[in-house]
Copies of this chain bind each other. A is one copy, B any other.
């Protein structure tokens, strides 16, 4: 495998490649093509259907931002749902909060959990925490059964291709908001302003119809297309409430108060399209 490059071609006009040192896993699961590589500089890297999901070096920009923004806004969240997130990175951050009594991870592909436990030891095996509950099933049915059940919901999904496309639909957002407890907050993986502006606008309109204070925020992740990804914050509770909440025990590597505010500032061309 020496001198080989892992090339992602999510977009027909833009590609990104990481230098591969080793390939640890290359398996067709029941649902997707799952690979784990050891890459130069970025460390172990999880790839699903050819798309880079996370690397050891830069996943903190994603996991700290998708979790802490809604968690801090709610303040003392007790019940948390993670849709997808089988790698355990979001679960690790959620379990830092002593207020959390139960964190349910609804992940369709048990193989993602199995291989991530093995190849991403820095996540600290959050699955062994008695508050963690893994459900290997589709999230739609579970959301339908769970109205008003969660203080925080985190939609930590792959891109809207194939089986994940439904997780970006109006119907998903409706079920997700219905599953929030009063005052609860959700954050969803919501793509890249330069590449995906039409999808983001559609989702923002959906979130506006369902909640009082939705907002788009952004984080740097060098190994994602365009070097970052955004999230839709979906809640009646303003995200600014989180600026006053103390951080949970443990170390932040990406988030600080400046970054928390800064994430909601978006480039002017995009602000005009989204908010004007």
A259 at the interface (CB under 8 A from B): yes
Q: Establish whether residues B226 and A254, one from each chain, have CB atoms under 8 Å apart when the complex forms.
A: no
Can you list 25 contacts pairing A with B, beta carbon distance less than 8 Å?
Answer: A5-B15, A12-B19, A13-B19, A13-B39, A13-B42, A14-B19, A15-B16, A15-B17, A16-B17, A17-B17, A57-B194, A61-B267, A218-B220, A220-B267, A224-B227, A252-B268, A253-B268, A254-B267, A254-B268, A255-B268, A256-B265, A256-B267, A259-B265, A259-B266, A261-B262
Which A40-96 residues have a C-beta within 8 angstroms of B?
40-42, 57-58, 60-61
A166 at the interface (CB under 8 A from B): no
Q: Compute how far the CA of A40 lies from the CA of B195 in the bound complex, rounded to whole angstroms.
A: 12
Q: Look across to chain B and name the residue whose beta carbon is closest to the beta carbon of A225.
A: B222
Q: Compute how far the CA of A264 lies from the CA of B60 in the bound complex, rounded to whole angstroms.
A: 19
Q: Compute how far the CA of A220 lies from the CA of B226 in the bound complex, rounded to whole angstroms.
A: 8
Copies in the complex: 2
A18 at the interface (CB under 8 A from B): yes
The residue that A265 contacts in the complex, of B17, B262, B267, with Cβ under 8 A, is B262
Q: Establish whether residues A41 and B13, one from each chain, have CB atoms under 8 Å apart when the complex forms.
A: yes
A258 at the interface (CB under 8 A from B): yes
Which A222-275 residues have a C-beta within 8 angstroms of B?
222, 224-228, 252-256, 258-259, 261-269, 271
Chain A 152-184 per-residue mask, 1 if CB under 8 angstroms from chain B, else 0: 000000000000000000000000000000000
Q: Specify which of A192, A220, A253, A271 lies most central, judged by the most chain B CB atoms within 10 Å of its CB.
A: A220
Q: Establish whether residues B269 and A254, one from each chain, have CB atoms under 8 Å apart when the complex forms.
A: yes
- Chain B residues near A12 (CB, 8 Å)? 19, 40
- Chain B residues near A267 (CB, 8 Å)? 61, 220, 253-254, 256, 259
The residue that A227 contacts in the complex, of B39, B222, B253, B262, with Cβ under 8 A, is B222
The residue that A256 contacts in the complex, of B58, B194, B271, with Cβ under 8 A, is B271
Q: Kindly provide the distance from the CB of A83 to the nearest chain B CB, expressed in whole angstroms.
A: 26
Q: Look across to chain B and name the residue whose beta carbon is closest to the beta carbon of A219.
A: B267
Q: Compute how far the CA of A61 lies from the CA of B267 in the bound complex, rounded to whole angstroms.
A: 8
Chain A 134-164 per-residue mask, 1 if CB under 8 angstroms from chain B, else 0: 0000000000000000000000000000000
Which A7-53 residues have a C-beta within 8 angstroms of B?
7, 11-19, 39-42
Q: Look across to chain B and name the residue whose beta carbon is closest to the beta carbon of A64.
A: B268
- Chain B residues near A268 (CB, 8 Å)? 252-256, 259
Q: Look across to chain B and name the residue whose beta carbon is closest to the beta carbon of A192.
A: B222
- Chain B residues near A254 (CB, 8 Å)? 267-269
Given contacts A220-B228, A259-B267, A266-B258, contact A58 B18 (CB under 8 A): no
- Give me 8 other A-B pairs in contact (C-beta within 8 A), A16-B16, A261-B262 excluded: A15-B17, A16-B17, A61-B267, A253-B268, A254-B269, A255-B268, A256-B267, A261-B261
